[in-house]
Amino acid sequence: MRIPHVIPYQGSKRKLAEKILTNIEYDVTGRLYEPFAGSAAITLASAANKMGVGYVIGDKFSPLVELWKLIVNQPEYVATQYSSIWHAQLDDPKAYFLKIRDEFNKDKDPVQFLYLVARCVKNAIRFNGNGDFNQSADNRRLGMNPKKVEKESLMISSMLKGKSEMIAGDFMEILSSAAAEDIVYMDPPWQGTSNKKDSRYAYLLDLELLIEGMADLNKRGVPFLLSFDGTCGDKSYGKELPDFLNLQKVGLDAGRSAQAILLGRDDITIESLYLSPALVEKNKLGIKRNEQLAIFS
Ligand SMILES: C[S@@+](CC[C@H](N)C(=O)[O-])C[C@H]1O[C@@H](n2cnc3c(N)ncnc32)[C@H](O)[C@@H]1O
């Protein structure tokens, strides 16, 4: 089965989803929580692979969460609105992008957000100090084709409608109802990238709060996986996480980075995935899944 995707989000874990999910080696009887959802790559891959009995898509950036609600519950509306925005740009795409960006900064319309993500440079959303979207358009592209948006939204809705909850808020609020039978996948904005002046995503990661949050999940026996830091060639990003969290580190081969390809270098990016003690314990007890996982194509 093909896994659908509809939000082209910089930092999406689409390509790593299969490798991440192979670290869950037991049948999850509860819900999968993705509190730093972005494009919700792990939720989509889990749902396509029938891992978990329900899904919680959370993010602190509320227009993104509103977009997820629409994709899941009103995919036809997303398709129609996106198509009308997309077609209206054709006379003057440059000026039109700026007009939609201004409107979005006033009204926070979720489908306008989808258009901005799809059309902006490297699909990398950026915000100024006032929280206004300020990324420029990539003028070589018109953004995801409306037909694709329709097809993917309908498929996602058929997988998630009636089985998912969308929550806007801080990750710990989102996770307040998570229990031992659930599983949590976390992909906070990287330390290595979020301290720059022009901030990625809408919010920065507070490392202390992340550590506190993980300690709390451990205390509650909630199994989780965390993508954090990483190395690329001789550069490494991020600090080690404290020993008292008892996390098991796994290196995932993320292939060559776009930068390395551009420079003709062979650096392989290794992304770190941390497994919580409750997850490691459940993996030991669980029956190893042997089936072929569905993949993004
Ligand atoms: C690295 S991106 C996640 C990408 C995602 N794994 C994917 O596949 O698209 C991090 C996300 O975390 C969100 N975020 C940042 N701080 C947060 C917080 N304290 N609580 C919840 N979400 C947060 C950002 O808005 C952003 O969408």
Write down the pTM of the prediction: 0.91
Q: What is the pLDDT of residue 231?
A: 59
Rounded to 5 degrees, φ, ψ at 56 are: -120, 115
Poorest-pLDDT segment among 20-29, 48-57, 220-229, 287-296: 287-296
Average of pLDDT values for 136-143? 93
Higher pLDDT, 73 or 10: 73
Torsional sign, CA 39, 12, 294, 182: negative
Output the CA–CA distances (angstroms, integers) from residue 243 to 180, 222, 249, 276, 277, in the order listed: 22, 18, 11, 12, 12
Report the C-alpha gap between 211 and 222 in whole angstroms.
Answer: 14
Distance 282 CA to ligand 1 centre (A): 26
Q: What is the pLDDT of residue 207?
A: 78
pLDDT tens digits, 172-198: 999 999 999 999 999 998 654 444 444
**Residue 223 neighbours by CB under 8 Å, 6+ apart:** 180, 182, 183, 184, 276, 278, 279, 282
Q: Confirm or reject: Cβ of 9 under 6 Å from ligand 1.
A: yes
Paired strand residues for 34: 57
Sole residue written with tokens 């314990």: 281
Tokens of 128: 């100024």
Spell 59-78 as b/e; 16+ CB within 10 A means b. Answer: bbbebbbbbbbbbbeebeeb
**184 C-beta neighbours (distance < 10 Å), count:** 25
Output the CA–CA distances (angstroms, integers) from residue 108 to 26, 41, 105, 115, in the order listed: 40, 23, 6, 12
Q: Confirm or reject: Cβ of 11 under 6 Å from ligand 1.
A: yes
Length of the chain: 297
Distance 148 CA to ligand 1 centre (A): 24
Mean pLDDT across the chain: 89
pLDDT tens digits, 33-77: 999 999 999 999 999 999 999 999 999 999 999 999 999 999 999
Of 158, 159, 176, 179, which Cα lies nearest the Cα of 167? 176
- What ranges in the chain are assigned the alpha helix state H? 17-21, 41-48, 62-73, 75-88, 93-107, 110-119, 146-160, 171-174, 191-194, 207-220, 258-262, 277-285
Q: Which atom of ligand 1 is nearest to the CA of 188?
A: 10
Nearest-CA residue for atom 7 of ligand 1: 12
User: Does residue 253 carry a pLDDT above 90?
Assistant: no
Distance of CA 10 to the CA centre of its chain: 9
Distance 189 CA to ligand 1 centre (A): 6
Nearest-CA residue for atom 17 of ligand 1: 60
The proportion of the chain whose per-residue pLDDT surpasses 70, expressed as a percent, equals: 86
Domain 14-71+162-187+207-285 has CATH 1.10.3720.10: no
Q: Which of 21, 60, 117, 214 to mutate to test the pocket of ligand 1 (most atoms within 8 A of CB)?
A: 60
